[in-house]
Amino acid sequence: MPKVIVFGSMNMDLSIDAPRVPAAGETLAGSGFITSAGGKGANQAVAAARLGADVRMLAAVGADAFGDELTAGLREAGVDTVGVRRLGNVSTGTAVILRTSGENRIVLHAGANHALTAADTDADLRRIGEKNDVLVTQGECDPVATELALHVAHELGLYTIFNPAPARPVPDDLWPCVDLVCLNETECQVMCGVLPEDDASCLEAARRLRELGAGTVVITLGASGSFGLGADDRLIRVPAAPTTVVDTTGAGDTFIGALAAGHVRGLSLSESMSLGALAAALAVSRLGAQPSIPTAKEVEALR
Ligand code: RIB
């Protein structure tokens, strides 16, 4: 089975539930404070590993307690962390998360996530990447290194999955290096100018991304499920699985990890999206990002 290589972020999440978003100058009493492993890249790596893939992480943490804990957590989840650099002059990425009525708002300190250079990324990918492996990357690391990762992976014949989160415009020549782009509503609007609100606008957005050069497009729509337009122009609509929302942090990452695991396990796009829907439903029913990500066995028990 080909492997999944995740080039991405590792953050310690400091997360608290609040009755509402406080006004400027106001202090509110919160509850359910947790410190737990997160970061879009690491969450996606853990999801792919728990769903049956052989996963390598390319990332950076600081030489501090958060970095050590996050790296150990990845290893425990079955992710190979040989490509996680421990850097002495920078702190580990941190995300401060405010949870209000099932939604979350995140303020990010990128820290070591922005210290991985394009040169390191190039060398790491050429060392471990093999044709037909999958590269998964997002928007929380240095943009130059992230874009280079997609170019190098494409050149080496890897299948590339790009999750532009947080979203920011990318150079036109990046899109032909993207085999699958997976984005939510707001990310979709930033990347192609179309807010996907229904099937017609999803199709319009997906066609625009395809015209830019992306292969397959998957748009996640929260409680409304997901929409896919395959490289073969096949349209796929998958409903969200029923769940009780406790914490949505990391649900999108779980879905993306499922797309990567599904691809290396030989599932079709629609089967991978269904796997993602079930895994994400389990993830939102639990607290925290990585602690909430289910195993393949838990997902199978839901079917
Ligand atoms: O997607 C959720 C993740 O975004 C959190 O785990 C947090 O670390 C931020 O990166």
Q: Which atom of ligand 1 is nearest to the CA of 93?
A: 8
Tens-digit pLDDT profile for residues 112-122: 999 999 999 99
- Ligand 1 proximal residues by C-beta, below 6 Å: 9, 11, 13, 38-40, 43, 95, 106, 108, 140, 249-250, 252-253, 289
- 198 is known as an active-site residue: no
Helix then strand then coil, in percent of the chain rounded to 5, is: 40, 25, 35
Nearest protein CA to atom 8 of ligand 1, as residue: 39
- CA 24 vs CA 11, 18, 20, 27, 58: distances in Å: 26, 15, 12, 9, 39
Tens-digit pLDDT profile for residues 275-293: 999 999 999 999 999 999 9
Residues 113, 64: Cα–Cα separation, whole Å: 14
Residues 271, 104: Cα–Cα separation, whole Å: 28
According to the model, what pLDDT value does residue 126 have?
Answer: 97
According to the model, what pLDDT value does residue 157 have?
Answer: 98
According to the model, what pLDDT value does residue 46 have?
Answer: 98
- CA 19 vs CA 23, 69, 154, 281: distances in Å: 12, 30, 46, 23
Tens-digit pLDDT profile for residues 54-82: 999 999 999 999 999 999 999 999 999 99
Tens-digit pLDDT profile for residues 207-230: 999 999 999 999 999 999 999 999
Q: What are phi and psi of 236, to 5 degrees?
A: -130, 135
Task: Tell me the CA–centroid distance for residue 96 and ligand 1, in Å.
Answer: 9
pTM over 0.75: yes
Strands 159-162 and 180-184, sheet pairing: parallel
Instruction: Name residues whose C-beta falls within 8 Å of residue 23's C-beta, 6 or more positions apart in sequence.
Output: none
Does residue 103 have a pLDDT over 90?
no
Q: Kindly report the CA angle at 208 between 207 and 213, in degrees rounded to 5? A: 95
